[in-house]
Amino acid sequence: MAAWAADMNAEGQNELGTKGEDISPSGRAGLRNPDDKVAPVGKETTGFVSKFIDNTWASYGIRTTIGAFDRAGLTPKMYQLVEIEPNAQRHERMTIVKGLSFRLIPNEVALEVASTVAEKYGFKQDKVEYGKGGLSVYASYISNDKPKEVKVGDLVAVGFQMKNSIDGSAGYRFSGYTLRLACTNGMTVPENRNTISLPKLSDVAQLTKDAESVMRPLMAGLEEQLQTYRRWTQIDLNMQLANILAVSLPKKYLPFIDFAKKTKAVVGFQHMTVWDAFNRITDPLTHTKLEARHRDWFRARLNRAVETWAEVQNGARSMDDALLMVGSF
Q: Which residues of 94-109 are buried (b: 16+ CB within 10 A; e: fewer)?
A: eebebebbbbbbbbbb
**Angle between helices 239-248 and 319-327 in degrees, nearest 10:** 20
pTM of the model: 0.72
Spatial contact of 99 and 79, defined as CB atoms under 8 Å apart = yes
C-alpha span between 95 and 101 (Å, rounded): 17
User: Per residue of the chain (329 residues), what is the pLDDT tens digit?
Assistant: 333 333 333 333 332 223 333 333 333 333 333 333 333 444 444 577 878 899 999 999 999 999 888 777 677 788 899 999 998 888 888 888 988 888 899 999 999 999 999 999 999 999 999 988 889 999 999 999 988 899 888 888 888 888 899 988 888 888 888 888 765 555 544 444 444 555 678 889 999 998 998 888 888 888 888 998 999 999 999 999 999 999 999 998 999 999 998 887 999 999 999 999 998 888 777 666 777 677 778 888 888 899 899 999 999 999 999 999 898 87
Sign of CA dihedral 295, 297, 302, 307: positive
